[in-house]
Structure 1
Amino acid sequence: MKNLALNNKWILVTGASSGLGQEMARQLAHIHKANLIIAARRADKLEDLKAELEKAAGIKVKVIVADLSIPEEADRVINESIANGNLYGAILNAGVTYFGRHTELPWDNFESILKTNVIGVVRMTNSLVKHFDKPGSVGGVMLVSSMAGFFPVPYQAAYSATKAFITAFGNALHNELQNPDFSITVFSPGGIATEMTDNSKFNELKGWLMPVSEAAKEGIHAFITRKYNYVPGLLNRIGNVFMNFLPKRFISGKMSKVYLKSLTKAQEE
């Protein structure tokens, strides 16, 4: 299977108003000269990014303002993206988390996490597969998951569960595809230094966080080269292999102590 060639092609990036999505959009524009469809809830952030990239990178950008926790909005993003037949690929990055005791997570917030991280992603993926998985079509989709989908993270139970679903879903669906020129990649980073982790609860964990520019670069590499399941960062990849030889209960117990320490310290401040 040939690598994706992004120059002058249209790529959808969800969750593009901040963090990993925003950085991937910047690198796709500046380095790979891709035209972009950027989607998120915050219209002002998207419009600022559009103006920045069209001026500095000389590419075209389309903005779609949408709340991807609403199924109909997720459908609209895909329908607008494929309407003119020019969509070449999609990076489904939008996601939310909760760091704290699961019993303290309000049910409405849990449902929002589930709808954004799972239901919206599945609905968009379903539509994209129907669009691309046919003879003569060329393209790729990347689902942004997490290492938390491999090794459940205490105090991020809901987030870990949604990412485990996305990893299993994306990997399984990859092997159902019939078009050899279409691929589904699952990208599974560890912690990343973004707006999502920029609060006191993560203070004790920030030494583990990967710079967002590095994570974005490796994510785009995984997308272009059509990786099946890709973990960025050499230490993360080594750790991922090594942890498979340890009991998951042991790993989760060790992580629980580290995360609880960070959470408790933030609550005391």
Structure 2
Amino acid sequence: MKQLQLNGKWVLVTGASSGLGQEMARQLAHNFKANLIIAARRADKLDQLKTELETSAGIKVKVITADLSIPEEADRVIAECIAGGDLSGALLNAGVTYFGRHTQLPWDSFESILKTNVIGVVRMTNSLVTYFEQPGKEGSLMLVSSMAGYFPVPYQAAYSATKAFITAFGSALHYELTNPNFSITVFAPGGIATEMTDGNKFNELKSWLMPVSQAAKEGIHAFVSRKYNYVPGFLNRVGSVMMNFLPKRFLTGNMSKVYLKSLVKAETE
């Protein structure tokens, strides 16, 4: 399958108000000259990004303000994106996490994580697959998962579970596609230095975090190259292979010690 050409094409990026989504939008605009549809909850952040990219990159930007934890809002975003029939790709990046003891996670917060990370993504994917499965339609869809979806992370149990779902869902659906010009990529980064990981609970883990610019660059590479599953960072890729040869109980137990140490230190500061 040939590499996706994005110059002058419309691409959707969700979760574009900050972090990885914002940085991928910037790189798509500057390095690939893609026109962008950017979606997130914070209208002010999206409007700022629109002004920045239209001025500095000379591309077109459409803003859609939406809460993707609400199924009807997720449906509305895709309906607006495909209305003109000229959408060429989508990066479903919006997601939320919780770092702490699972027993202290309120049920409504858990439901919000589930609705944003799973239900919203699946609803948008369903509509996008129907759109891109049209004969001759060329496009690419990337689902942003996490290495936590491959190897469970204690104290991020809910987040890990939702990303495991996305990894399995996207990987399986990839092989159900009938249009040879359409692909689904699962992108699974490790920790990234973003607003999501800026809290003091992550202080002991920040040396592990990948710069957001690098994660975005490799994510876009996976997207345009139509990778099946892609883990950014050479050491992360080697590690993900090597960890398959170690007992999962051993891996999860050691991960638990590292994350608990960071959590306890934050709680006592």
Shorter-chain TM band? over 0.9
What amino acid does structure 2 have at the position aligned with 1:79? A
Aligned to 1:160: 160
In structure 2, how many angstroms separate the alpha carbons of the residues matched to 1:214 and 1:51? 24
Aligned to 1:175: 175
Aligned to 1:26: 26
In structure 1, how many angstroms separate the alpha carbons of the residues matched to 2:253 and 2:71? 36
In structure 2, how many angstroms separate the alpha carbons of the residues matched to 1:180 and 1:22? 30
Aligned to 1:266: 266
Among all aligned residue pairs of Structure 1 and Structure 2, give the percentage whose two residues are the same amino acid.
81
Question: TM-score, normalising length from structure 2?
Answer: 1.00
In structure 1, how many angstroms separate the alpha carbons of the residues matched to 2:198 and 2:6? 31
Report the secondary structure of 1:3's partner residue.
coil
Pairing 1:112–2:101 present: no
Aligned to 1:97: 97
Pairing 1:76–2:76 present: yes
Report the secondary structure of 1:189's partner residue.
coil
Please, which runs of 5 or more residues in structure 1 have no aligned partner?
Answer: none
Report the secondary structure of 2:94's partner residue.
coil
Q: Post-superposition shift, 1:136?
A: 1.1
Query: Residues 220-262 of structure 1: CA distance to partner in whole angstroms, max 9, x if unpaired?
Result: 0000000000000000000000000001110000000000000
Report the secondary structure of 1:95's partner residue.
coil
Question: TM-score, normalising length from structure 1?
Answer: 1.00
In structure 2, how many angstroms separate the alpha carbons of the residues matched to 1:218 and 1:136? 27
Query: Residues 142-189 of structure 1: CA distance to partner in whole angstroms, max 9, x if unpaired?
Result: 000000000000000000000000000000000000000000000000
Report the secondary structure of 1:31's partner residue.
helix
Report the secondary structure of 1:244's partner residue.
helix
Q: Post-superposition shift, 1:35?
A: 0.2
Contact 1:134/1:178 (CA < 8 Å) preserved in 2? no
Q: Figure out how many residues of one structure are paired with residues of the other and give that number.
A: 269
Aligned to 1:127: 127
RMSD, aligned α-carbons: 0.3
Report the secondary structure of 2:39's partner residue.
strand
In structure 2, how many angstroms separate the alpha carbons of the residues matched to 1:259 and 1:236? 18
What amino acid does structure 1 have at the position aligned with 2:129? V
Q: Post-superposition shift, 1:134?
A: 2.2
In structure 2, how many angstroms separate the alpha carbons of the residues matched to 1:92 and 1:145? 9
Moved over 6 A (4+): none
Q: Post-superposition shift, 1:121?
A: 0.1
Aligned to 2:11: 11
What amino acid does structure 2 have at the position aligned with 1:148? A
In structure 2, how many angstroms separate the alpha carbons of the residues matched to 1:134 and 1:77? 20
Q: Post-superposition shift, 1:47?
A: 0.1
What is the correspondence of 1:202-213 to structure 2 with a 5 Å cutoff? 202-213=202-213
Report the secondary structure of 1:185's partner residue.
strand
Aligned to 2:45: 45
Q: Post-superposition shift, 1:132?
A: 0.3
Aligned to 1:66: 66
In structure 2, how many angstroms separate the alpha carbons of the residues matched to 1:65 and 1:205? 32
Report the secondary structure of 2:256's partner residue.
helix
Aligned to 2:196: 196
Q: Post-superposition shift, 1:82?
A: 0.4
Query: Residues 184-213 of structure 1: CA distance to partner in whole angstroms, max 9, x if unpaired?
Result: 000000000000000100000000000000
Query: Residues 46-94 of structure 1: CA distance to partner in whole angstroms, max 9, x if unpaired?
Result: 0000000000000000000000000000000000000011100000000
Please, which runs of 5 or more residues in structure 2 have no aligned partner?
Answer: none
Pairing 1:238–2:243 present: no
In structure 2, how many angstroms separate the alpha carbons of the residues matched to 1:216 and 1:33? 15
In structure 1, how many angstroms separate the alpha carbons of the residues matched to 2:222 and 2:196? 22
Query: Residues 14-68 of structure 1: CA distance to partner in whole angstroms, max 9, x if unpaired?
Result: 0000000000000000010000000000000000000000000000000000000
Report the secondary structure of 2:183's partner residue.
strand
Report the secondary structure of 2:245's partner residue.
coil
